[in-house]
């Protein structure tokens, strides 16, 4: 007996007695092609991902299959994604003497914001944070072009602030001992102010309203269960 497996070379019939005839995680697609499908699927909307796969590999993969595969592997690695990621040369342990002010006791920035995203089920609350050290900032080689952040950690969650907080704290708590050198950049969202007061009382808050005036929370989609954005 044989099984058909979709590969980057097209469909291949493999005898069921061979290890390569197995369908990893129930998908009749080779592991190598699964990796390519998931990579494109997490970069683009699924219809566009299907078009890219056909253009680049000459293979027809239905958008719904890309959705199922991307969702499956996204859920499978969710626990790993929630594990703390240590930025290089983080804060010294309490009571230790810092070797130098810039290396042993760095400045770490935390940017956090929220928005309402339109999904198939209607508007849903979304939270996103970015954490980076001050010495990860790099100037552009082109004058007047600004710069970039060389290394950072992103934390994202589709849901409320209360559900986002454990993921957020897992990445930020390791910098708590920095005190005022832990700097939050925020538009003044109440959920983040409450979290700072409770968990990071010595941290510094820089209020950033460059995006425009703060509007009242009396409309949709500007209202969320965790308060104004």
Q: What is the pLDDT of residues 79-119, one digit of tens each?
A: 777 777 666 544 444 454 544 555 567 899 999 999 998 88
User: In a 10 Å sphere around its CB, with 0-12 CB exposed, 13-18 middle and 19+ buried, how is residue 95 labelled?
Assistant: exposed
What are the residue boundaries of the structural domains of the chain, listed by start?
2-76, 108-207
- Mean pLDDT, to the nearest integer, of 156-162? 89
pLDDT of 18 reads 62
Q: What is the pLDDT of residues 16-75, one digit of tens each?
A: 666 666 666 777 788 888 899 999 998 888 999 999 999 988 888 899 999 999 999 888
The pTM assigned to this predicted structure is 0.63
Residue 229 in contact with residue 208, Cβ under 8 Å?
A: no
DSSP secondary structure code for residue 43 in this structure: T
The residue ranking higher by pLDDT, 22 or 168, is: 168
- Mean pLDDT, to the nearest integer, of 186-204? 90
């Amino acid at each position: 007996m044989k099984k058909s497996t979709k590969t980057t070379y097209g469909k291949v019939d493999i005898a069921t007695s061979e290890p390569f005839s197995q369908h990893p995680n129930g998908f009749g697609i080779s592991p190598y092609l699964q990796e390519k499908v998931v990579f494109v699927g997490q970069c683009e909307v699924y219809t566009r991902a299907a078009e890219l796969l056909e253009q680049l590999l000459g293979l027809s993969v239905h958008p719904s299959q890309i959705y199922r595969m991307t969702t499956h592997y996204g859920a499978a690695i969710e626990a790993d994604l929630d594990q703390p990621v240590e930025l290089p040369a983080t804060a010294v342990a309490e009571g230790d003497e810092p070797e130098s002010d810039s290396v042993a006791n760095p400045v770490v920035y935390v940017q956090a914001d929220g928005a309402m995203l339109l999904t198939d089920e209607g508007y849903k609350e979304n939270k996103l944070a970015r954490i980076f050290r001050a010495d990860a900032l790099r100037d552009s080689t082109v004058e007047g072009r600004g710069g970039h952040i060389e290394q950072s950690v992103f934390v994202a969650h589709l849901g409320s602030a209360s559900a986002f907080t454990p993921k957020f704290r897992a990445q930020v708590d390791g910098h708590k001992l920095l005190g005022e050198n832990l700097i939050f950049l925020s538009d003044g969202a109440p959920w983040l102010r409450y979290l700072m007061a409770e968990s990071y009382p010595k941290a510094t808050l820089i209020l950033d309203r460059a995006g425009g005036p703060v509007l009242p929370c009396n409309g949709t989609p500007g209202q969320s269960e965790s308060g104004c954005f």
